[in-house]
Amino acid sequence: MSTENGEKTFDLTRVHETNLKMLKEIDRICRKYKIKYALDSGTLLGAVRHGGFIPWDDDVDVMFTRTNYEMFAKVVRRELPENMSFVEPNEYHGGKAFYDFVSRITYDKSQKFEESGKMAFYDDKISRLCVDLFVVDALPSGAVSKRLTKLMHCIVYGLALGHRYKINYSDYQGVMKLFVFVLSSVGRLVPFPVTYCLWRGLCKKDAKRDVPLYFYTNYAPNYFYVEMKKEWDDQVEEVPFEDAKLFIPAGWKPYLEQVYGDYMKLPPEEKRIPEHSDMEIKIYG
């Protein structure tokens, strides 16, 4: 949408209404089965700073610890209404394609990307409004063990990129571009289900160890710098969010400071735009 002087404006009222429906379903399911979840990333920031959605945000993020995510994954498909779906990372293109390692709740009667070969390759599942479900796993605290764990995740992610629709090498600089080229080339020779099983095992490698930290194992490597003390995420607290009450991690303040710095400060006006769509989002019902 545009104003008379040509400036873009965004009416995200229906988007936020639809995203809130999905959040309420996640909350309902988790309360029913006593599963802990927490709002995450920009959705957490919106809860703290705005009491709901960030006005210009078209995205939704939720976080689980590994145990809680596994419980959620077992029950969610039978609990969701007909217009919502649960999509796991190994379900694109007949299980042969890699988009990312993030599971999602999608609103099936919606569209946020223009139709394209890329959207078709991923069965149109990434073109829908969705809630991204992030998972945190144990991270060793020793400097060497920590770096080795993150390096192994980077390698597996690089292998998985071999099954992407297309790799945008402009996203990488210098030696990283070579790193991605080599690993993705090798990764094409390895069936994605094998790489996926390797990633799943890597996520759980420290699950039974008494380590003090979590990190996001299903996020892209550029988010591996985020580390959380376990007590930040093992406990949650209820807060108002729009017309509902949802849960946020007990350690929301140090998390937000780590990711956003002065999180109560609004970004410049030119950056207050939706970032997770390439068209005016359509909602069909």
pLDDT digits 0-9 by tens, 69-89: 999 999 999 999 999 999 999
Burial class, 246, CB count within 10 angstroms (exposed 0-12 / middle 13-18 / buried 19+) = buried
Task: Categorize the per-residue pLDDT at 285 as very low, low, confident or very high, splitting at 50, 70 and 90.
Answer: confident
How many Cα atoms within 13 Å fall on the side-chain side of residue 76? 24
**Helix, strand or coil for residue 282?**
strand
Residue 112 or 278, more confident: 112
Cα 52 to Cα 1, 39, 49, 136, 174: the distances in Å are 23, 11, 8, 23, 40
Rounded mean pLDDT of 48-56?
97
User: What residue has token string 């591996």?
Assistant: 224
Q: Tell me how far apart the alpha carbons of residues 240 and 177 are, in angstroms, rounded to a whole number.
A: 44
pLDDT the model gives residue 9: 55
Mean pLDDT score across all residues of the chain: 94
Task: Categorize the per-residue pLDDT at 7 as very low, low, confident or very high, splitting at 50, 70 and 90.
Answer: very low
User: What residue has token string 């400036």?
Assistant: 7
Q: What pTM value is reported for the model?
A: 0.94
**Helix, strand or coil for residue 165?**
coil
Cα 278 to Cα 118, 124, 148, 245: the distances in Å are 13, 14, 37, 31
Q: Is the pLDDT of residue 204 over 80?
A: yes
pLDDT the model gives residue 11: 87
61 phi, psi to nearest 5 deg:
-130, 135
**Helix, strand or coil for residue 137?**
strand
| Alpha-carbon dihedral sign for residues 101, 106, 108, 112 | negative
pLDDT the model gives residue 237: 97
**Helix, strand or coil for residue 94?**
helix
Q: Tell me how far apart the alpha carbons of residues 163 and 40 are, in angstroms, rounded to a whole number.
A: 28
Task: Categorize the per-residue pLDDT at 18 as very low, low, confident or very high, splitting at 50, 70 and 90.
Answer: very high
Q: Is the pLDDT of residue 13 over 60?
A: yes
Cα 10 to Cα 7, 54, 108, 109: the distances in Å are 10, 12, 22, 20
Q: Tell me how far apart the alpha carbons of residues 169 and 180 are, in angstroms, rounded to a whole number.
A: 8
Q: Is the pLDDT of residue 2 over 70?
A: no
Task: Categorize the per-residue pLDDT at 5 as very low, low, confident or very high, splitting at 50, 70 and 90.
Answer: very low
User: What residue has token string 């710095």?
Assistant: 261
Task: Categorize the per-residue pLDDT at 68 as very low, low, confident or very high, splitting at 50, 70 and 90.
Answer: very high
* Tally of residues, the chain: 285
Q: What is the pLDDT of residues 125-180, one digit of tens each?
A: 999 999 999 999 999 989 999 999 999 999 999 999 999 999 999 888 889 999 99
